[in-house]
Amino acid sequence: MSDKTAGDLGIFTRTFARSQLAACLDAVAGHGFGLAHLSLRSAGLAALPAGLPPDTLEAIRMEVERRGLRLAGVSGTFNAIHPDAARRERETALACDLIAHAKDLGTSFVSLSTGTRDPDDMWRGHPGNAEPSAWSDLRETLEPLLEAANAADVTLGIEPEHNNVVSSAHLARRLLDEVRDEHLRIILDAANLMTVETADQQDAILAEAFDLLSPDIAVIHAKDFTEQGDTAAGRGLLNYQRYFELVIEHEVIAPVVIHEVEEDDVARARDFVLAQAAAVGLPLRVRS
């Protein structure tokens, strides 16, 4: 497992749009979070920079530590099955470099996306995602990423998401069983397993996901889904109490990380998640 403590509630740094990392991290801490998932865009860099100088890595780590924060992980997302093979190769190399330097940032967890055949939007579904070639390309992309992860002793997190090639808990289980590498783990985001049309089946969908994936879950995401597209936790159709009951029932030890929420709604989303967890006896910690 990565260097995260069970019971912590965190948030994505990109929730807070600031021109300087220091101000972004001040906002994270100011909302009572002790845990953050880092996007390098929050530090004024590209999401996957071409080069990570040691002084830059140290400066980021020091800003995090100065506020008493810890990193749940760092985002290394790119479209792992983009139809442009040359682009995939370039971005895979950049992600490998980030993986190699993750511990210099103060984390041993890097989040990834399994990707889509859509050439323009990595979060949009595509019929080609279900073709055997998409799965083959994902496996090919993962090979160097896992080599880098093993060399650096860093955990990679992939997230089953209905618009991506790994679109379900079953496919996530298949990937884990094929790869068989302890450095590949699961980010579970219940909202990404469902659509508005399947919302009435969510108890069964959630139960199946935990049955299949619970031993390999490294991070729990907290967001929501609605017909209108509102993704802020507590504003949609997700049954959070059942979600958190399953965390307890399956003895999942992982932090919960809020994302896809507007900054002016963070306090409400934080309090909602804390209340839903408390209602079923799942202790989540914030700093204040």
Per-residue model confidence as pLDDT tens digits over 200-240: 999 999 999 999 999 999 999 999 999 888 899 999 999 99
pTM score of the predicted model: 0.95
Select from 90, 50, 96, 60 the least CA-distant residue to 76: 96
Considering the four listed CATH numbers 3.20.20.150, 3.30.70.890, 3.40.50.2300, 1.10.150.650, the one that applies to the domain covering 9-279 is 3.20.20.150
Q: How large a percentage of the chain has pLDDT more than 90?
A: 95
Q: Looking at residue 288, what is its pLDDT? A: 62
pLDDT at 169: 97
Q: For the segment 135-159, what is each residue's pLDDT rounded down to a tens digit?
A: 999 999 999 999 999 999 999 999 9
Using the Cα atoms of residue 88, residue 89, residue 90 and residue 91 in order, give the sign of their dihedral: positive
Q: What does the pLDDT look like over 35-69, one tens digit per residue?
A: 999 999 999 999 999 999 999 999 999 999 999 99
Q: What is the pLDDT of residue 142?
A: 98
At residue 167, the pLDDT reads 96
Write the pLDDT tens digit of every residue in 273-284: 999 999 999 999
- What is the per-residue pLDDT across 62-115, written as a single tens digit (0 to 9) for each? 999 999 999 999 999 999 999 999 999 999 999 999 999 999 999 999 999 999
In total, the chain counts a number of residues equal to 288
Query: What burial class does residue 103 get, using C-beta atoms within 10 Å of its C-beta: 0-12 exposed, 13-18 middle, 19+ buried?
Result: middle
Residue-averaged pLDDT of the chain: 95
pLDDT at 2 over 60: no
The answer, yes or no, to whether residue 4 has pLDDT greater than 50, is no
User: What torsion, rounded to 10 degrees, do the Cα atoms 175, 177, 182, 184 define?
Assistant: 10
